[in-house]
Amino acid sequence: MANIVLTTLNARYHHSAFGLRYLLANMGDLQPETQMLEFGIKQLPIEILSEILSHQPKIVAIGVYIWNIEQATKLVADLKRLRPEITVILGGPEVSYEFDAQPIVEMADFIITGEADLVFPQVCRQILEGTPPAQKIIPAPTPDLNEIKFPYDLYSEEDIANRVIYVEASRGCPFQCEFCLSSLDIPTRQFQTQRFLDAMQAMFDRGVRQFKFVDRTFNLNPKVGRAILQFFLDRYESGLFLHFEMIPDHLPDSLRELIKQFPVGALQFEVGIQTFNQQVTDLISRKQNYQKLNDNLAFLREETGVHVHADLIVGLPGEDLESFAAGFDQLVNLKPQEIQVGILKRLRGTPIVRHDEEWGMVYSPHAPYEILENRLLDFETMQSLRRFARYWDMIFNSGNFVKSAPLIWQDESPFFEFNRFCNWLFQQQGRSHGIALTQLSELVFRYLTEQRGLPGEQVAPIFWNDYQRGGRTDRPHFLRPFKLSSPQKRSLSAQSPSRQSRHAGL
């Protein structure tokens, strides 16, 4: 039994609910009365409801996000229909903005908007004492980070063994990109550096070797960035893997020197570029120095072992197909190991809506609120770009076609040649999901030999080498007619997750 149940629905099992752990860590004397329950969006709603009610709670608090809004709405509806006396509290970005007329908000008892670490336990105490807040919508004032307790000891041994371990050294974002919820945050605030590093030491002592930093701008403050990198460099051992989001045009020499010292595969940088069109950048209030960006990406690829994951967005106001294609080609030539082609989303509260009329922006009203078309990209073109993004992820980003994928656009425009391949592949399959790797490999091989006219004897050894990157030794039937080397025994490095290891050629 627990008076308070903290819960959410994660997108996948290996994700962990970082926000719930923060709330639980800061419950104070209410912590013994609080139970944290994590579920997945694919679990049966009735089973989730049963597990929650088995604790006989008086309060159920639910973290609501873009990926679980539909399931969370059904959960709250069933919960209030079955046990209307239970107080339901909602929090999270999906209910922190534009909450009027949201069904889930109408059904809930209270909504806490913003960073609820310190406000949530106060609200729970009021409810349990019989003096609940008078207002339904409770804005949380920005908390003093020195008053917030870290949640890291709430990661269980199962979490450490099987889930992503999220950490943060700062909150907020200094930029105001109009498509991003971080544009609504106040400027970046840092946790006290030594306190944070002490917490990381405790995690390291428990066996954590893969850390995913959720900071929006780990390299904004070079002094803090250096301290964090030096901490992990001093403790480096095989299996250490660190994921950071970085500002692409801000990489001073003091950070470069430390980054160069990490072995291949130990660091992954997520680099949000979004567009190479300066006019589009200005439209969406984004600040970006493209010359420094190019220099920094060249440095990361040519002088370090960093795995670079770069982001572009389809559908931004003012960006037509030719502009996006030019930016995509420019990014391919900078050689990041992964390029995430994202579809623009109209997240609640973001000021991107100010462009709706001028640029004819039409978004789906259903999560994840992706753009359907705009004045420069009609619906059919947008659908084609969705398939492009999916196929690119399956083929290039997966690390299964590291050497063979570039043959698709060899010496020509990566965007237009890969798009031509996408159109052919969709004609063959009629879908962009559920294609087995062996089948996909055969299709790519056929395209290269039949459509692009490359000799099978030239393509087959490249394919065979790529096919073995994941540790596979079975020879696909379409490669059997060719004289190829014997299978090589390869073990994926424990240095980094397998996708990154395949890109590294390990």
Q: What is the structure's pLDDT at 186?
A: 64
Q: How many CB atoms lie within 10 A of CB 156?
A: 11
Task: Examine the pLDDT at 494 and tell me if it is beyond 60.
Answer: no
Q: What is the structure's pLDDT at 185?
A: 67
Residue 296 backbone phi and psi in degrees, to 5: -70, -40
The DSSP letter of residue 451 is: I
User: At 180, is the pLDDT very low, low, confident or very high (cuts 50, 70, 90)?
Assistant: confident
* Fold of the CATH domain 4-144: Rossmann fold (3.40.50)
Beta bridge partners of 363: 371
The DSSP letter of residue 307 is: E
Domain boundaries, the chain: 4-144, 165-377, 403-506
Q: What is the structure's pLDDT at 489?
A: 60
Task: Examine the pLDDT at 492 and tell me if it is beyond 60.
Answer: no
User: At 149, is the pLDDT very low, low, confident or very high (cuts 50, 70, 90)?
Assistant: very high
- Provide mean pLDDT across the span 14-39: 97
Q: How far apart are CA 189 and CA 331, in angstroms?
A: 31
Q: How many CB atoms lie within 10 A of CB 477?
A: 9
User: At 453, is the pLDDT very low, low, confident or very high (cuts 50, 70, 90)?
Assistant: very high
Kindly report, residue by residue over 215-253, the tens digit of the pLDDT: 988 888 899 999 999 999 999 998 999 999 998 898 999
- Provide mean pLDDT across the span 295-324: 96
Task: Examine the pLDDT at 165 and tell me if it is beyond 80.
Answer: yes
- Provide mean pLDDT across the span 282-301: 94
Q: What is the structure's pLDDT at 471?
A: 78
Tokens of 435: 């294609």
Task: Examine the pLDDT at 506 and tell me if it is beyond 70.
Answer: no
- Provide mean pLDDT across the span 180-199: 86
Strands (E), 65-129: 87-91, 110-113
Q: What is the structure's pLDDT at 496?
A: 55
Q: What is the structure's pLDDT at 490?
A: 55
CA triplet 61, 66, 68: central angle to 5 degrees? 55
Kindly report, residue by residue over 334-381, the tens digit of the pLDDT: 999 999 999 999 999 899 999 999 999 999 999 999 999 999 999 999
Task: Examine the pLDDT at 183 and tell me if it is beyond 80.
Answer: no
Q: What is the structure's pLDDT at 342?
A: 96
Which of the two residues, 489 and 298, has the higher pLDDT score? 298
Q: How far apart are CA 305 and CA 261, in angstroms?
A: 9
CATH homologous superfamily for the domain 165-377: tm_1862 like domain (3.80.30.20)
User: At 279, is the pLDDT very low, low, confident or very high (cuts 50, 70, 90)?
Assistant: very high
- Provide mean pLDDT across the span 393-411: 94
Tokens of 436: 């087995």
- Provide mean pLDDT across the span 432-456: 93
Task: Examine the pLDDT at 505 and tell me if it is beyond 70.
Answer: no
User: At 99, is the pLDDT very low, low, confident or very high (cuts 50, 70, 90)?
Assistant: confident
Task: Examine the pLDDT at 485 and tell me if it is beyond 50.
Answer: yes
How long a stretch of residues is the chain?
506
Tokens of 67: 């990926």
Q: What is the structure's pLDDT at 217?
A: 85
Q: How far apart are CA 305 and CA 503, in angstroms?
A: 11
Q: What is the structure's pLDDT at 493?
A: 47
Task: Examine the pLDDT at 162 and tell me if it is beyond 60.
Answer: yes
> In angstroms, what is the C-alpha Rg of the chain?
24
Beta bridge partners of 88: 60
Q: What is the mean pLDDT of the chain?
A: 93
